[in-house]
Structure 1
């Protein structure tokens, strides 16, 4: 793959003033030519190398000067085949791309429309390492290292990781390449949704600003997910960077026809809309899903026109007194200061104000919209009651129970999100219904990471904010029961820490009235030090309130004191839960995760009837509340078996503590 005396791409970009063209999608064009799924792309390096070479060749003919090897999904290929077959596939991909470039350059050097020898050295091949998958672990890292070693053996000097959702584990891979090949050139290209929020919950500008400081990376980029217009908006949100930028959006927004994803936008539209990307200073431009050589050819014409106008601006002209009029450098500085294109041409100018989202808030607003947060910051002890939503459509009895709990003195009513992964009334919809019923008691829906992706989570948060619900309690969520997993699949795009970071980012960029985010804390964990470290991560992610598991033991009380000491910057809602019978006590002691009950507590219920059990429950719950009171900012009372009357009795006692 290596060309003798070829300058590194990043250095070449520093020498040229015009953007350089990359290729477009391999899978889209492969499907267009063959009718086969893009899943067969990598396999075709071995089965149909001439076809893959012709695809590379068509992109070169369209104007591409940078090709990505046909190895984007090599890791998926490795899952289907063995290591030796994967190695053979990569070797073929390398050879095919190299042959395509060498043959094209040789023909251009010898042809009528020849290119100078120096230009022949400005064609580049990027060894495509694809994406870093969810569940990246030591084994996957070893597979990446093996593949990188193979690419280096084949002569690769330029690498790309693309369609990355965030930068987790990226530096591990990049550092390995630089360790093995210090003079290599590495591009990292990210697939970020139009809202600009990464899979880890931070904004694109924050991530790019951090990556701009990493010397191991040479080029940053955006690809996939969106078409040119949303990608231009994303690019406008990224501040000035020292690194070069690559922009390869999709052709547009896809639709599904005959079970195939189709991009109906035309090459002409794609090229025209890429003017915005050029106006914001992209150094490399190309395409991703939905693009073909026709799209790249249109883009090459747009780039040529853009560069011609830019050249005219850079020339400057001689004034009558012999001085030189201001060139583009001074104009660029002024334009950039105003948030305009760095190139200053009115026909190409793209202003930041035109592109930014109208809801792009940067500061968190006051808390006067949130009574719960107000009371907590004023040092008032709160009482929150967990009251599960009904499992049937009849909600009137549930409303009656909620009103009784409110009348007994609860400040908040939390609604679990399908505990133990069994369906009940949706916690957010139930909270919305309660908002119209309760007057002084705030509904707080639990929001699990299970069963919804990032889009669904954001939609729920938008809806809650619209109806003035500003408190959520986020938990990772119980897994789907084993017996249901053949029919029901769990979805976990987040864990509670990542979800906390995601909501914090939305608070800073979207919500004028931000959410107060609470999380869970297992006071009864086998390893409290681990739970404390996890709690610290939650607090750092913006989760400032922690609701603990119930305290039903002397150990729990002692631990609460330790938690208070080690987490002074968190609001602690101490969990308490009435045990109603001996059978209930035994079950909780032996079968419920996260519970710790002293043996003498269990023994008190032995032989007692329902009324006696509830009397003991009242006594013990109030006693534990008294013991943890010095260490908590409020109480978190969990309703057992829908026994609202018992909870109300406990409320009447603990609200005076």
Structure 2
């Protein structure tokens, strides 16, 4: 019987955990089950049989972590291991003599390795192709945090094997959000709106009680089957080991409540065992046809209904050449000087102060906290930089919520400078997100929490990094992720001016062109030779001499800045000044048309 037909008449029970159950049997919490597909297939076969004997009507191949990064294997080894995972599941079903479905299990490939999106997509295709050679009925993506790869993979699979039943499950936390900040509601809308997906829902991350409370608040799509596979609970430390305590009765009671909501497919994830699955099959009526209240869901594309407009963006749209000035926070708690600088910038008519986030990877006062203080002290609009280098997703979300609660409505989202090489032994970058992923996160926060007065955010434009078409492609991804404007690196050369002009002609967005008035011969040489991504031509260096006074050098830098501004003026939407050493007096010297 095709799985679609089965689901019209029954609830379907999936197996429980493979990884944690295997580790439990091995008495080694670090044991990796996927290696055993080749090294000890009898153990994997036995686990499959245990779940089938417990009543599972679908088993998952032992391939969740079968990627090159986690297992440190080459593509040929990976393909062999994946094929073995399917054949072992197939053998277990054949030996059982029962009608049991096999889902080819694909988990997320870690994204923090520095590999490109294209490279990761190719590996996902390799995994799919390896499974498709076996002509499976079901492919399951589980424990994903967003649709980034899934939205490209599901049509790829359907094109090659149109009859394949595709399930997509996502990992959410106790609040109903993925690590990328996407809500359970939005995920169901995406599932409903993706024609190639047949079923979808949630697995891992939370226990059965939290899963029930999240699901009961959601509307289920009429056109998809819904899946729920929570963890046994939450691991606890016992004799220096993290283990899941047995709570089969509690799990079964919650799964009964989940079934009553209308969920179609249930099972277990981390910490569950054949005992959990057996308890479900003994207590829950699988002939139950209740599918709950179903509605036609679709991806929400409407614009946010803003009750208050964003002052800074309104200036940008008015056609005014907006002036933003970056200040670097202090290295210590002495903030008198930066507050004085902010007051001077207000007197100079600057529209926005941006606050760098520990530039060059060297610790300074937090950009958000410093921005809040400047805003309160001066009344000026502020835009803290928020970089992905230093904070995990928990700290990032807390910081953004705190910024919003204190009146911040503009941020610049950047990936962040790398940690200096001399500090890498003691300090590590986090990079749970890249800048585009963090933009998606803030976009979701705007929708869920700040719809009446959203955070407006911009992105960095590294105009000199690679082919122009690739730069434009990345900008388009940022715009799709909600970026409203871009701030460029400092511009000096004619070639860079032409590159930015070309970009502006090809993409409809607001661009603030970066201006850095160099303040000495030494400063000019340092920027030219030590800072990547900024192209200082020889003619700029030649305008300075080592013997110049501070005043002479500043006037030279201001004059050069004015000349560059004149060249940029026909197409720039504004200017983004990066003043070395926070020398705000330069703003009185620079001619801005």
Counterparts of 1:128 and 1:538 in 2: how far apart (Å)? 31
**What residue number does 2:343 align with?**
403
Q: Given the alignment, which residue of 107, 114, 117 partners 1:130?
A: 107
Residue 9 (structure 1) aligned with residue 32 (structure 2): no
Counterparts of 2:308 and 2:208 in 1: how far apart (Å)? 38
**What residue number does 2:443 align with?**
504
In 2 relative to 1, CA 517–150 (structure 1 residues): closer, same or farther, beyond 3 Å?
Answer: closer
Counterparts of 2:329 and 2:17 in 1: how far apart (Å)? 48
Moved more, 463-472 or 74-83: 74-83
Matches within 5 A, 1:434-453: 434-439=374-379, 441-453=380-392
SS of residue matched to 2:433: coil
Moved more, 269-278 or 231-240: 231-240
Contact 1:551 1:596 in 2 (8 A): yes
Counterparts of 2:77 and 2:565 in 1: how far apart (Å)? 64
The one-character-per-residue Cα deviations of 1:166-205 (angstroms, maximum 9, x if unpaired) are: 2333366556655665544333322244555556665555
Counterparts of 2:84 and 2:572 in 1: how far apart (Å)? 64
Counterparts of 2:249 and 2:40 in 1: how far apart (Å)? 31
Q: Given the alignment, which residue of 405, 420, 431 partners 1:481?
A: 420
Q: Given the alignment, which residue of 330, 341, 357 partners 1:390?
A: 330
Residue 621 (structure 1) aligned with residue 561 (structure 2): yes
Using the TM superposition, give the Cα deviation of residue 21 of structure 1 relative to its aligned residue in structure 2, in angstroms. 0.9
Contact 1:621 1:650 in 2 (8 A): no
The structure whose Rg is larger is 1
Counterparts of 1:149 and 1:444 in 2: how far apart (Å)? 46
Using the TM superposition, give the Cα deviation of residue 266 of structure 1 relative to its aligned residue in structure 2, in angstroms. 2.1
Moved more, 428-437 or 624-633: 624-633
Contact 2:220 2:295 in 1 (8 A): no
In 2 relative to 1, CA 275–500 (structure 1 residues): closer, same or farther, beyond 3 Å?
Answer: same
Residue 371 (structure 1) aligned with residue 311 (structure 2): yes
**What residue number does 2:148 align with?**
168
The one-character-per-residue Cα deviations of 1:274-294 (angstroms, maximum 9, x if unpaired) are: 344323322110010122233
SS of residue matched to 2:140: strand
The one-character-per-residue Cα deviations of 1:536-578 (angstroms, maximum 9, x if unpaired) are: 332232111221222334445555554554444x333232221
**What residue number does 2:51 align with?**
59
Matches within 5 A, 1:108-187: 120-121=98-99, 123-134=100-111, 135=115, 151=131, 156-170=136-150, 174=154, 178=158, 181-187=161-167
The TM-score, its normalising length taken from structure 2, stands at 0.85
Counterparts of 1:179 and 1:66 in 2: how far apart (Å)? 24
Contact 1:548 1:575 in 2 (8 A): yes
| Cα RMSD after superposing both structures | 3.6
In 2 relative to 1, CA 587–150 (structure 1 residues): closer, same or farther, beyond 3 Å?
Answer: closer
Residue 518 (structure 1) aligned with residue 458 (structure 2): yes
In 2 relative to 1, CA 397–555 (structure 1 residues): closer, same or farther, beyond 3 Å?
Answer: same
Q: Given the alignment, which residue of 548, 556, 571 partners 2:488?
A: 548
Counterparts of 2:38 and 2:433 in 1: how far apart (Å)? 38
**What residue number does 1:492 align with?**
431
The TM-score, its normalising length taken from structure 1, stands at 0.78
Counterparts of 1:554 and 1:77 in 2: how far apart (Å)? 43
Using the TM superposition, give the Cα deviation of residue 466 of structure 1 relative to its aligned residue in structure 2, in angstroms. 1.0
In 2 relative to 1, CA 156–575 (structure 1 residues): closer, same or farther, beyond 3 Å?
Answer: closer
In 2 relative to 1, CA 12–559 (structure 1 residues): closer, same or farther, beyond 3 Å?
Answer: same
Moved more, 575-584 or 55-64: 55-64
Q: Given the alignment, which residue of 263, 281, 285 partners 1:300?
A: 281
In 2 relative to 1, CA 373–239 (structure 1 residues): closer, same or farther, beyond 3 Å?
Answer: farther
**What residue number does 1:539 align with?**
479
The one-character-per-residue Cα deviations of 1:332-390 (angstroms, maximum 9, x if unpaired) are: 7xx55799xxxxxxxxxxxxxxxxxxxxx99342334x432344344444322111011
In 2 relative to 1, CA 430–31 (structure 1 residues): closer, same or farther, beyond 3 Å?
Answer: same
Counterparts of 2:559 and 2:386 in 1: how far apart (Å)? 32
Contact 1:68 1:126 in 2 (8 A): yes
Counterparts of 2:86 and 2:476 in 1: how far apart (Å)? 47
Counterparts of 2:208 and 2:387 in 1: how far apart (Å)? 34
Residue 42 (structure 1) aligned with residue 34 (structure 2): yes
SS of residue matched to 2:554: helix
Using the TM superposition, give the Cα deviation of residue 244 of structure 1 relative to its aligned residue in structure 2, in angstroms. 2.0
Using the TM superposition, give the Cα deviation of residue 207 of structure 1 relative to its aligned residue in structure 2, in angstroms. 4.9
In 2 relative to 1, CA 637–262 (structure 1 residues): closer, same or farther, beyond 3 Å?
Answer: same
Residue 422 (structure 1) aligned with residue 359 (structure 2): no
**What residue number does 1:463 align with?**
402
SS of residue matched to 1:225: strand
In 2 relative to 1, CA 481–364 (structure 1 residues): closer, same or farther, beyond 3 Å?
Answer: farther
Using the TM superposition, give the Cα deviation of residue 422 of structure 1 relative to its aligned residue in structure 2, in angstroms. 2.0
In 2 relative to 1, CA 624–141 (structure 1 residues): closer, same or farther, beyond 3 Å?
Answer: closer
Residue 286 (structure 1) aligned with residue 273 (structure 2): no
Residue 228 (structure 1) aligned with residue 169 (structure 2): no
Using the TM superposition, give the Cα deviation of residue 27 of structure 1 relative to its aligned residue in structure 2, in angstroms. 2.4
Using the TM superposition, give the Cα deviation of residue 446 of structure 1 relative to its aligned residue in structure 2, in angstroms. 0.4
Counterparts of 2:76 and 2:500 in 1: how far apart (Å)? 56
Which runs of 5 or more structure 1 residues have no equivalent in the other structure? 1-6, 106-119, 312-328, 340-360
Which runs of 5 or more structure 2 residues have no equivalent in the other structure? none
Contact 2:61 2:85 in 1 (8 A): yes
In 2 relative to 1, CA 558–29 (structure 1 residues): closer, same or farther, beyond 3 Å?
Answer: closer
Residue 631 (structure 1) aligned with residue 540 (structure 2): no
Q: How many residues align?
A: 583
Counterparts of 1:104 and 1:476 in 2: how far apart (Å)? 52
Residue 33 (structure 1) aligned with residue 25 (structure 2): yes
Using the TM superposition, give the Cα deviation of residue 463 of structure 1 relative to its aligned residue in structure 2, in angstroms. 0.8
**What residue number does 1:71 align with?**
63
Using the TM superposition, give the Cα deviation of residue 400 of structure 1 relative to its aligned residue in structure 2, in angstroms. 2.7
In 2 relative to 1, CA 563–139 (structure 1 residues): closer, same or farther, beyond 3 Å?
Answer: closer
In 2 relative to 1, CA 90–77 (structure 1 residues): closer, same or farther, beyond 3 Å?
Answer: farther
Q: Given the alignment, which residue of 184, 190, 193 partners 2:170?
A: 190
